[in-house]
Structure 1
Amino acid sequence: MNATLARLIGGQICVHGSMAGMRLAAPLLALREGYSAAAVGLLVALFALTQVFLALPAGRYADRHGLKRPVGYSVAVACVGAGLAVVFPTFPVLCVAALMTGAAAGAATIAVQRHAGRAVHDATELKQVFSWLSIGPAVSNFIGPFAAGLAIDVAGSSPGSLEGYRAAFALLAVLPLLSWLCVRGLPDMPAPAAAAGGESGRAPQRAWDLLGDAPFRRLLIVNWLISSCWDVHAFAVPLLGHERGLSAAVIGTIFGAFAIAATVIRVVMPFVANRLREQVVMAVAMLVTAVLFAVYPLLHSAWAMGLCSVLLGLALGTGQPMVMSLLHQITPSHRQGEALGLRLMAINASSVLMPLMFGSAGAVIGVSGLFWAVGAAGLGGSRLAWRIANRVPKESQKA
């Protein structure tokens, strides 16, 4: 991992970490102030909502302006959003802060991913780069909540005091500035000719036209299935653990085992990237996930559930790096920002809507039925992954 990639990862971690910390601190403050679970659920959903609507414009903006300008604006928006919560720690302002920090994290992620994908030379480097980049969100999902929780308990006059929350929000408002320090010295990649000037006499292309390309459409569906499997695990394991009479600490340990396994496999992948084929890795990951989802509801021991969680983390952890690598190969270079935006939009729309669907389905078919239904969808995703053509446009072959 070279210095440029390390700085890109650092830039991604700090903006995303600010959002992750807000996603912990804001709901806790809302609960402290007596707001209902429904209100807190709405607040949490707002972190993903702006990314649904702004991902495509953010992708187009990154196609036109590269890395530093989108990241600079993202840093400013994140700082202002968290800063507003310092001055006005009320529920309406927390909702605004959620919208702003969520949007900033999404836009910065798109710009960083696009820049990293365009800076490499071949498919092997793509897999290596996106394996390293995929570690960033895991790190930020630890750093942001840990720093916020520590500030809430330590900085106030008493644990959980309003002063502690203000201190946490102030810390999260400063954290994105480190992202700017990471990326400000990096040179922007030159804009592709089609993105910079377009071709005269041709109608402007729409992002939805990308869905007309069969490999991209299949890749997007497989990516959505991988994300849905991840969400099902997060949603259903607490319910299953509760049915089995497991304690909160044990259920949390099962989750931790999943997260550690997903991170470990992403650390290993760059060293074996030249032996990996994206379609094969995704197809095998979906097949293994389907089998594990079939077995998971039949397990009663915490140790067995923990082992299954580790295996799921290893399987699903391979998904995002392979998706990102293949996306950059099958998408024209001047539309990669749009493609990344479309992908992020689909994932965040799923994160908003799928928990509602999971809850309704779980009430009808039970937690076990939910695992089996999504596992069956995973089998279809495995077959779809095999059919993705590894077609590399000429314009993506760059030095």
Structure 2
Amino acid sequence: MPEPHAQRSAGSAPVLAALIAGQLGMHSAMAGLRLAAPLQTLSQGYSAWSVGLLLALFAAAAVFTALHAGRLADRHGYHRPVAWAVGLTLLGCLLALLSTWVSGPLQFALLCGGALFTGGGTNVGMLTIQRTGGVAARDNVERVRVFSWLGIAPSFSNVLGPVLTGFVIDAWGYRAAYAVLLLMPLVSIASARLVPRLAPAGTAAAVAGRRAWDILKAPGMKRLLVVNWLLATCWDVHTFAVPVLGHERGFSASTIGLILGTFTLAVTGIRLLIPFMAHRLSERTVLRSAMVAAGFVFVLYPFAPNPLVMGALAVLLGISLGSVQPMVMSMLHHITPDNRHGEALAFRSMAINASSTLMPLAFGAAGALVGAGALFWVVGGAVGAGSWLTRRMAPVPG
């Protein structure tokens, strides 16, 4: 049965705070594990390809669970899907912790399992939270604001998780880092009781027999998904290439974590500003500008001579990519039928995570052959050239 309508919109401070905290707990655990597991793998003598495989697994489970998770959120709202999400995330962190007591292939297998479960659980939680915020917003301007505030959770998580994990690894080792990460998803359970019971924006139709792929026929959906995929690839390259590039140059785990944290701190900063400018922003213009800027930064990134310059470029990239999610989510909500928002979010998630599953494998193979720097140039050229797609996007009415 669908949940009853809430008395407050998603734009109210208590609801937003609870939703942000819910995602913060799960995403911080995943972000920390996404730094620690590759570094542990490299420290055991594995190749860049193995790191690519490990990072790919964070997204692999999300590809196969996204559609079910979106429909689950459409039918049951927030609380039941979040409980499943937290359980999967905890299991993933536990497997990573267990890996510190073994060695060899079994250790790598446990880290792979941890990546699968943590990535899948975090994605279920993200879809549920995004759906909850989107259907409860009153109009498009509030939706942009809500999605921008919600976007702070993963960006801040990508500061908290890697930075804290990097320092704990340097001070006490991987076992202590995984133990800390295991505690983070408990925040999501604690905050769930503060989220009101929200219903879909429309009739909760049964999904049995409905063709999921029909949603791709919505006007502009395919073009929006391609643009979103190109921009998401920038995140994947940055997540993969910075640890590899840093390891090649002899940076410590805490230094690499600070570079990644600086990037996501910039993402958080721009998302803090967007709610105050939402009524003046055009989704189409913001997306085009972000694609051009990201391409320019990626061309320069491999030439950075030290961590300070890499951090400065990470700030510029974070500002560019940080503005994207609220605009994409607003456009996605606008072109999607009211009772299928969860499914639409699932398709976006599937497209991004399918890419995130395959691309790190390609990144790892390319990195082993030509180095991490060349990856920045290839992806930067692709995302810059793809900015022409935004010219054909229809504007979203206020």
TM-score range, shorter chain: 0.7 to 0.9
Distance 1:152 1:376 in 2: 35
Q: Does 1:63 pair with 2:74?
A: yes
Distance across 2 between alignment mates of 1:237 and 1:6:
31
On the 8 A contact 2:59/2:119 being kept in 1, the answer is yes
Deviation of the 1:143 alpha carbon: 2.8
The residue identity in structure 1 corresponding to 2:233 is S
How far residue 211 of structure 1 moved from its aligned partner, in angstroms, is: 1.9
CA distance in 2, matches of 1:355, 1:84: 22
What letter corresponds to residue 129 of structure 1 in structure 2? V
In the alignment, is residue 341 of structure 1 matched against residue 341 of structure 2? no
- Equivalent residue pairs, number: 378
CA distance in structure 2 between the partners assigned to 1:367 and 1:85 by the alignment? 26
TM-score (ref. length: structure 1): 0.80
What is the Cα deviation at residue 318 of structure 1? 0.8
Equivalent position of 2:23 in the other structure: 12
Q: 1:59 to 1:277 in 2, by over 3 A?
A: same
Q: Are 2:191 and 1:182 equivalent residues in the alignment? A: yes
Counterparts of 1:23 and 1:368, CA distance in 2? 20
Displacement, 1:214? 3.6
Identity %: 48
Match of 1:196, SS state, is: coil
1:107 to 2:124 alignment = yes
Distance in 1 (alpha carbons) for counterparts of 2:98 and 2:374:
47
Going from structure 1 to structure 2, the CA distance change for 1:43 and 1:180 (only over 3 Å counts) comes to same
Aligned residue in 1 for 2:9 = none
What are the within-5 Å matches in structure 2 for residues 1-399 of structure 1? 2-27=13-38, 34=44, 36-37=46-47, 39=50, 41-84=52-95, 89-90=101-102, 91=107, 92-148=109-165, 159-160=172-173, 165=175, 167-192=176-201, 194-197=203-206, 204-235=209-240, 248=251, 255=260, 257-294=262-299, 307-358=312-363, 370-390=375-395
How many angstroms does 1:189 deviate by?
1.6
Q: Which runs of 5+ in 2 are unaligned?
A: 1-11
Q: CA deviation at 1:65?
A: 0.9
Q: Deviations over 1:319-363 (max 9, x none)?
A: 112111211111112111111111112212222222333455568
1:133-169 CA distance string (max 9 Å, x none): 1111122223334555566666xxxx43xxx71x544
Call closer, same or farther: CA 1:31–1:252 in 2, change over 3 Å. closer
Aligned-partner Cα distance in 2 for 1:70–1:220: 24
**Would you say the 8 A contact 1:329–1:390 is kept in 2?**
no
The alpha carbon displacement at 1:236 in A equals 5.2
Rg (Cα) greater in structure: 1
Task: Calculate the aligned-residue CA RMSD, in Å.
Answer: 3.5
Is residue 207–residue 339 contact of structure 1 (8 Å, CA) maintained in 2? no
1:20, 1:297 → 2: CA distance?
23
